[in-house]
Amino acid sequence: MSETGFTTMAGPKSERSAPEIGIGMMGYAFMGKAHSNAFKKLPYMMYPPVAIPKLVAIAGRNEAAVQEAAARYGYVKYYTDWQDLLKDDDVQLFDNGAPNDAHAEPCIAAAKAGKHILCEKPLARTAKEAATMLDAVTKAGVKHAVAFNYRFVPAVRLAKDLIMEGKLGQIYHFRAVYLQEWIMPHYGTPHIWRLDKSVAGSGALGDLGAHIIDLGRFLVGEPRRAMGAAQTFIKERPGEGGKMTPVDVDDAFVATVEFENGALGTLEATRYAGGHKNSNCFEVNGEKGSIRFNLERMNELEVFWVDDQPKETHGFHNVIVSEGYHPFWANWWPHGHIIGWEHTFVHEINHLLDAIVNDKSVAPYGADFEDGYKNAVICDAILESAESGRRVDIRY
């Protein structure tokens, strides 16, 4: 394998020999754009492709807007009702990029219609809702994935591999923060769906916290107990017609987590951390070393080894995770020619297509609906603890 970057300029299998998978996309805004971008990039970058995503149709509620989205991203058809998308026999993979209140019903219907499913995170607004979704995909026997895309950052997957290989020894700490600033007063953010419990389920917790909870489970293991506190700093914002509308979700939360393997975790997420645009950071401290990651520098992983030599340079070292032998890198560029946030979706979808075509499991490297359900149980436990002031056991 090349040590200086990409290795797959050409392959033994031509693009034409890979099967096509028909994509039905729901939602055409932030995630609709990110996923569509990944579907298009995938067949010529993940080469030779395991499958070729065919952009069959996209669904939205506003006809003019969804028609424009179809033309922009290259979907052949559009629908103004997701039910029609699910009736389309050309759709084999249903991709749900809608807000959280529109995850359960369409995903359950998609499973009943025999479609494979990629659903954005959080899987659902509550664990109870997530359980109905897990039940539906299990009964239908379709492949299912939740878009916890940070598992597919090369540096994060390297961190996972190092931990799994025992390079850090016993894990003592998982310390994760997910910090943004975009609803602070100086932004003048109005009341949007992310601030409405009936749509979002929770606030910073389900939006950002779900990602670091997933990383904690991915890297360290299952938590058995959680204790949390949450706060809503601005209690109402101008909604439709400028009418002041209550904010009924958390703006920020902090939590402590005790893992089954004895490790201690701290989690924090907020949209009120001035200066932080998208700081998804974690640190893992183990018996033999430590690793730390910051999404704003996502091509890097900092590592510390207890027995590193010489002692004069003992300390954290910065690794640019971009070698041909690093996770996912064989398909990209010569080393140091870095990749970005959008490429995590290419890796994630490629993983799911591989599972569909070759009848593999999405877990443990990808997140499936069981991970989405367990994530929701932990989110619920943190909120319950924040309300009661008591530690809460995690029970799946």
Ligand X SMILES: NC(=O)c1ccc[n+]([C@@H]2O[C@H](COP(=O)([O-])OP(=O)(O)OC[C@H]3O[C@@H](n4cnc5c(N)ncnc54)[C@H](O)[C@@H]3O)[C@@H](O)[C@H]2O)c1
Would you tell me which residues interact with ligand X (CB under 6 A)? 26-32, 59-61, 82, 97-100, 102, 120-121, 147, 149, 207
Q: Which is nearer to ligand X, 121 or 335 (CB)?
A: 121
The Cα 265–Cα 252 span in angstroms is: 17
Q: Which is nearer to ligand X, 171 or 212 (CB)?
A: 212
Angle between helices 63-73 and 30-45 (to 10 degrees): 20
Q: Which is nearer to ligand X, 104 or 171 (CB)?
A: 104
Cβ 274 to ligand X shortest distance, Å: 21
Residue 187, CA distances (Å) to 30, 166, 190, 272, 364 in order: 19, 45, 9, 11, 39
Cβ 150 to ligand X shortest distance, Å: 7
CA atoms within 13 A on the CB side of 349: 32
What number of residues does the chain have?
A: 396
Contact between residue 196 and residue 248 where contact means Cβ atoms under 8 Å apart: yes
Q: Where on the phi/psi map is residue 5: left (φ > 0), alpha (ψ -120 to 50), or beta? A: left
Six token digits for residue 240: 């439709």
Query: 191: Cβ–Cβ under 8 A, 6 or more apart, which residues?
Result: 236, 237, 238, 239, 245, 247
Q: Which string of DSSP letters, residue by residue, matches 148-198?
A: -GGGGSHHHHHHHHHHHTTTT-SEEEEEEEEE--TTSGGG-----GGG-HH
Query: 89: Cβ–Cβ under 8 A, 6 or more apart, which residues?
Result: none
Q: Which is nearer to ligand X, 31 or 158 (CB)?
A: 31
Cβ 30 to ligand X shortest distance, Å: 3
DSSP state at residue 23: E
Q: Which is nearer to ligand X, 61 or 235 (CB)?
A: 61
Q: Which is nearer to ligand X, 264 or 363 (CB)?
A: 363
Contact between residue 82 and residue 183 where contact means Cβ atoms under 8 Å apart: no
Q: Which is nearer to ligand X, 15 or 296 (CB)?
A: 296
Cβ 259 to ligand X shortest distance, Å: 24
Cβ 242 to ligand X shortest distance, Å: 20
Cβ 201 to ligand X shortest distance, Å: 9
Cβ 12 to ligand X shortest distance, Å: 33
